[in-house]
A and B are shown apart, each in its own frame.
Chain A
Amino acid sequence: MADEDKDFLFSDICVEENLVYRKPGTLTETELHYCPGCGHGVAHKLLMEVVDEMGIQNETIGVAPVGCSVFAYHYLNVDMQEAAHGRACAVATGVKRVQPDKYVFTYQGDGDLAAIGTAETIHAANRGENFLIVFINNGVYGMTSGQMAPTTLPGMITTTSPFGSDTKTQGHPLKISNLVASLPGVAYVTRQSVHKPANVRKAKKAFQKAFEYQKKGLGTCLVEIVSSCPSNWKLTPLESNKFLEDKMIPYYPLGDLKVPEGK
């Protein structure tokens, strides 16, 4: 058989120089439990790609929240602690204060970070705790199946605002990232999304910056990801992306809210 007649073999194609994508070793082989169209999967991947690329897997400790990402530690292949609901920033304070040269992050949803955990979030940021807060904001309580969040938009229908969220009695959507950005100890606050390739790239860049700033000891970094919840928004993933663009992002505009001096 002449060489030119030989079929391509899998082993010939799967060689290092042809590699275009590989799941990083910082993610486990466990299948994600998240719903189709949810942003958690992409956010997990970006965060862990950065940990992988920076070579800090063995120096990173993550803190998981209570909420849809309560099982984040099933997927993130780094040392992890599961915090009580809302307490991730206090737990991370404990971790970072006794191991100041390790990389520490929390991964929290809107209920965890901006409702039950508001005090822990604000005070950790106000002390300038030198860790990264990853904040996934989809305006709804996912894990408990669709109740109102502190970030629910006015008029939005949830199981506890069945006639639409009423700001007169149920409060206004809380822009907690803006509150955090106003505190002197905070180094970097940015709001990103992961619903389009260009946004995915920007979100990854934000994680990279946050870990770099942590390495330099600049203070608290918060990366908010405005995300979708098709299951509880009662929309398809595509409709959810449209809702994200038409409703969520106008209220929660993307971009940097605070950057370190000289950056």
Chain B
Amino acid sequence: MGKKKLMKGNEALAEAMIRAGCDAYFGYPITPQSEVIEYLSREATNRTGMVVLQAESEVAAINMIYGSAACGRRVMTTSSSPGISLMQEGLSYIAAAELPCLVANINRGGPGLGTIQPSQGDYFQATKGGGHGDYHLIVLAPSSVQEMVDYTLLGFELSEKYRCPTMLLADGAIGQMMEKVELYDQMPRKTEFPDWATTGKPKNSDRRIITSLFIQPEKMEQINLGLQRKYREIEKNEVRFQTINTDDAEYIFTGFGLGARICTKAMESGRAKGYKIGVIRPQTLYPFPVDIYSELSKKVKGILDVEMNAGQMVDDVRLAVKGNTRVEFYGRMGGIIPTPDEILENFEKIFLK
């Protein structure tokens, strides 16, 4: 590991991408994540020969990702909410064709053109598929600049292990804020590619076909069953979460990404006032850490879910809790970040009064 540096989230993400031996980045500028393509344009090609291309649209960018991922390369794109919406068609094709790639959504407030301020309004879109058909992305939720770096490498590895497109769901605040970060050393770019990759038909074996078209329903059902088997494997193997002070907790605060950090601060203030509060922070949003909620739901008096949206992850929390305990929601929308005091105040109002 290298020495610690002070870096902006988006730039740390770009640096992490280069160091992870990424072969190509295709993207289109959009606030609040344009620093990613700017940083890569300055740094990447000279250092590793990585391809960096500003596409004509997010639609084109995600299809360039499709083409290059299908050649077995380590590839990534980044965008923010409206741009991610434009990529949904491509992501559905990528999921169906089982191509590995990494996509970061630096979530801003919506719907529509919305605002350039941070939001978590794209949870549903990220975790429930997003485009057409039955599929999932693996979704990682960084809550710090350090995790932007760590999850970039993890995201590449998971996407390649399962041939499943993977998303970093961050938000405008994590993208824009500066924090201390430790970077991994430069990794070499790949020189050998998987045998499914379209690198030119091998002389003594069949050509490779990358497609999501299976016109016979029986075949299409088999493809779907295969995808579902893969998702069950991912759900079994790749759940990641963090718990803080849950051992003696009577109440749980939960949230993801930036929301989880604010929850943690609110928990600390609550503890100072004598409330036994713990925190559950899912690090993977898909697969969702169902078991930890289920387990703790039998021990606590209530769960407060805090998000920067109208209440999206709370649906998954309620499904996991299965009515074992009271689950309430507090959120702000439109680019507003709730304060720890505000969360604690609402906790007292909802659960203690």
Contact = CB atoms under 8 A, between A and B. Distances in A.
Contacts of B353: none
A73 B66 CA distance: 17
Interface of A: 57-61, 63-64, 70-71, 73, 77-84, 87, 90-95, 97-99, 102, 119-120, 123
Given A90-B55, A90-B59, A93-B53, A98 B201 contact: no
Nearest to A85: B89
A91 B63 contact: yes
Interface in B309-345: none
B8 to A, nearest CB: 27
B199 A80 contact: no
B209 A95 contact: no
Interface stretch (B68-76, B112-120, B143-151, B171-179): B68-76
Select the residue from A64, A84, A102 with max chain B CB neighbours within 10 A: A84
Interface in B38-74: 51, 53, 55-57, 59-61, 63-71, 73
A98 B73 contact: yes
B67 A73 contact: no
Interface of B: 23-24, 26, 51, 53, 55-57, 59-61, 63-71, 73, 75, 89-90, 93, 97, 198-203, 207-213
A78 B201 CA distance: 6
Contacts of B67: 63, 81, 83, 90-95
A64 B212 CA distance: 12
A87 B212 contact: no
A80 B68 contact: no
A123 B200 CA distance: 25
A87 B87 CA distance: 12
A68 to B, nearest CB: 13
Nearest to B61: A90
A81 B26 contact: no
B59 A87 contact: yes
Select the residue from B51, B75, B200 with max chain A CB neighbours within 10 A: B200
B189 to A, nearest CB: 10
B159 to A, nearest CB: 16
A58 B213 contact: no
B207 A79 contact: yes
Contact of B90 (A84, A98, A119): A84
Select the residue from B23, B61, B202, B211 with max chain A CB neighbours within 10 A: B211
Select the residue from A59, A82, A94 with max chain B CB neighbours within 10 A: A94
A61 B63 contact: no
14 contacts: A71-B213, A78-B201, A78-B207, A84-B89, A84-B90, A84-B93, A87-B66, A90-B59, A91-B66, A93-B53, A93-B67, A94-B24, A94-B66, A94-B68
Nearest to B207: A79
Given A87-B90, A94-B64, A119-B57, A99 B213 contact: no
A98 to B, nearest CB: 5
A73 B51 contact: no
Return the 6 tightest CB-CB contacts between A and B, nearest first. Answer: A94-B67, A90-B63, A82-B211, A94-B68, A94-B64, A91-B67
Nearest to A99: B71
A58 B202 contact: yes
Contacts of B213: 70-71, 82
Contacts of A93: 26, 53, 55, 60, 64, 67
Contacts of A70: 213
B97 to A, nearest CB: 8
A251 B123 CA distance: 51
